[in-house]
Structure 1
Amino acid sequence: MERATGERRQNLTERIYQQLKQSIFDFELLPGDRFSENEIAEQMQASRTPVREALTRLQREGFVAVSFRSGWQVRPFDFEQYEQLYDVRIVLEMAAVKRLCEMQPGPDLEELKQVWLVAPAERLDDGPRVCALDERFHQKLVEATGNAEMARIHHDLTERLRIVRRIDFTQRPRIEATYIEHGKILRTVLERRADEAQLLLKSHIEESKAEVRKITLHMIFEARQHQNKLNTSQRPEATGEQQKA
């Protein structure tokens, strides 16, 4: 009985965690927004315990922060930190493609070939799905080296960058560019042209980093404007009621 209760609470915590994370990703909860555990518990129709557990998990991942006096807050975007993470990612992946080009026998990259070396008509245009495939592309390049520690560090970087990387796939031109650039990188790795593969990979990640910053700032601005309009539209009603009273 106790085990079943524990499993139910764990499932509830996971559901709340996923919903809050998605709200942050979708800019429904904006950077800097403050809220209490009671507010989330009421929205989720849950007790404070699973809410606190979900928020603690998001805190460990760097999405929210807590203050004794003012409750919880969505952490503001720290672009300097994200750029540092991107720089580490570039170093890891450049080392990975160099190793892949030197491996004997060559690495098994058939999985990537079937996804990225396809005719334009066969390319996907669903942003979230292409984002997941993009993550897999970069993870596979690192995993294929056989270095488990490198793969573990890269996985951690991927998790921490996901909130901004996914924004790159909200724009159709960026999806098309990803297919083209991944195809070039993959071909040079398969042809064992290490220097060119490293150069293409570095350029690809740096371009994504620049685009993500630009798109993120624009999306935050639009979401904030929408939020302000909603708040403004509610004020006249409140003012009118007060005047009648």
Structure 2
Amino acid sequence: MAFRSRADEVYEQLKRDVADFQLVPGDRFTENEISERLGVSRTPVRQALFRLQQEGFVEVLFRAGWRVLPFDFDQFEQLYDLRMVLETTAIHRLCEGVVRVDHGLLDALAAIWLAPQAERSSDMAQVSQWDEEFHCQIVAAAGNAEMARVHREVTERIRIIRRLDFTQQMRIDATYDEHAKILKAVQRKRGDQAAMLMRAHIETSQAEVRKITLHQVHLARQGGYAPR
């Protein structure tokens, strides 16, 4: 098991805070506030914040602490485009015999997404987590480790915006329906159909992202989203 430093732990916690709307775009804070809240010294906090700064989550303010960066919607557009390329390519690899299909994985995904409507989860945080796992596992199953690595990085960058999508019940319902159609097409090795369905699914999410406002983020912090 890889060694995790205190700075690594702070870094992971602050990323969770952003993803769970405990820290939202525009929020300002100091290193002292973070170190007191997490019960650590300022050194690992500073190391974690510099790492988050490099990844585009926060910025340092001259003599005024730190700030969570506003959403960069142009960047989100580009990340969704990249995600579409990776996931549709993965679908084709799975359906066209480029890799050996892990039927256990498909069965596990089917147990969630092909469940009868009465057994579907309405837990926003749970469905959001399952959604991430669905897409990551599809890419990982395609057998290209570098594709999977890049896809995980994209997933982390868009996590907060995707979670906002799951504050609406209609979007949860649509995700179940769309994932089910994609899975059925993959199970039948209908690559073109599955890729077309995946593209439409991602494009719908991408369109929802364009509608997101900072007001929705603050509503999510006030209780519209309950992190696990």
TM-score (norm 1): 0.78
What is the correspondence of 1:184-203 to structure 2 with a 5 Å cutoff?
184-203=181-200
Cα separation, 2, equivalents of 1:25 and 1:89: 19
Cα separation, 2, equivalents of 1:127 and 1:18: 21
Identity %, equivalent residues: 57
Q: Of 164, 168, 176, which aligns to 2:165?
A: 168
Counterpart of 1:74 in structure 2 is 68
Counterpart of 1:31 in structure 2 is 25
Counterpart of 1:10 in structure 2 is 5
Q: How many residues align?
A: 217
**Gaps in structure 1 of 5+ consecutive residues:** 1-6, 227-245
Cα separation, 1, equivalents of 2:20 and 2:179: 26
Which letter maps to 1:37?
E
Counterpart of 1:63 in structure 2 is 57
Structure 1: which 4+ aligned runs deviate by more than 4 Å? 221-224
**Gaps in structure 2 of 5+ consecutive residues:** 223-228
Structure 1 vs Structure 2 CA RMSD: 2.5
Shift of 1:65: 1.4
Cα separation, 1, equivalents of 2:52 and 2:137: 26
Q: Is the 8 A contact 2:178 2:197 kept in 1?
A: yes
The 1:39/1:106 distance shift into structure 2, 3 A limit, reads closer
Q: Is the 8 A contact 2:35 2:41 kept in 1?
A: yes
TM-score (norm 2): 0.83
What is the correspondence of 1:64-213 to structure 2 with a 5 Å cutoff?
64-103=58-97, 107-108=101-102, 109-213=106-210
- Judge which range, 103-112 or 190-199, deviates more: 103-112
Task: Report the structure number with the largest CA radius of gyration.
Answer: 1
Higher helix fraction (1 or 2): 1
SS in 1 for 2:79: helix
Shift of 1:217: 3.7
Cα separation, 2, equivalents of 1:101 and 1:32: 44
